[in-house]
Amino acid sequence: MKTIIVIGALGKMGQAALTGLSNHKVITAGRSGSVDYIVDITDENSIRTLFEQVGYFDAVVNTVGFCEYASFADMTQAQWMTTVMSKMMGQINLVRIGQEYIADNGSFTLVSGILNIKPIPYAIADATTSGAIDTFVKCVAYEMPRNTRINVVNPTVLAEAWHVYGEMMPGFQPVPSALVGKAFERAVDGFINGEVLYVDA
């Protein structure tokens, strides 16, 4: 049994990840609500406080990455930066700071999303930062300390989120949360490193 911090546990992707992690001791974290620890992934001090408060952990599963949606012509620098500071730098900082605290042989699992492979209107910031995270994971895997691993789950839209995003995504086939949970399970319980785990229909 591993001790796993699941960040964004109350969100739709967090709930999907949890379906694959039931064999482990899970510590939940998020920005608000009924979680074990409150953390804001856009704030370095908040991230450091989380890891110091938790103490021992074998794995970090992050499912947070806030994105702004607008056409490229309309998206402002502020909207770009909000997305970059959450979905890209927030996740990179979780790894940059977390590597100081994580147990030997531990693992980080991040989240991106299929829109960098299958673009749709209004999602340029999501797609761009998802692509950045996929690249970050593939490349930083060579620099991870103490036999720690890093992977990213790149899912298509969840069936449980289809009522929110379905209208924006004609021609997409949603996947059940339980299937996405399997990808998080493979990342945490397997030996893979530097991989993008696509979950698409």
Site residues, ligand NAP (CB under 6 A)? 8, 10-14, 30-32, 39-42, 63-67, 86-87, 90, 111, 113, 126, 155, 157-158, 161
Provide, rounded to whole angstroms, the least separation between the CB of residue 134 and ligand NAP. 12
Provide, rounded to whole angstroms, the least separation between the CB of residue 105 and ligand NAP. 26
* SS3 at position 37: strand
Structure tokens at 170: 């004609």
Provide, rounded to whole angstroms, the least separation between the CB of residue 104 and ligand NAP. 26
Cβ nearer to ligand NAP, comparing 24 with 87: 87
Provide, rounded to whole angstroms, the least separation between the CB of residue 146 and ligand NAP. 26
Provide, rounded to whole angstroms, the least separation between the CB of residue 128 and ligand NAP. 12
Phi, psi of 186 (to 5 degrees): -65, -40
Cβ nearer to ligand NAP, comparing 98 with 155: 155
**Residues 55, 104: contact at Cβ < 8 Å?**
no
Quick one: residue 132, left, alpha or beta (phi over 0 = left, psi -120 to 50 = alpha)?
alpha
Cβ nearer to ligand NAP, comparing 9 with 144: 9
Q: How far apart are CA 127 and CA 121, in angstroms?
A: 10
Cβ nearer to ligand NAP, comparing 104 with 167: 167
Helix axis angle, 89-98 to 44-54, nearest 10°: 40
**Residue number, nearest CB to ligand NAP:** 11
* SS3 at position 20: coil
**Residues 30, 39: contact at Cβ < 8 Å?**
yes
Cβ nearer to ligand NAP, comparing 67 with 124: 67
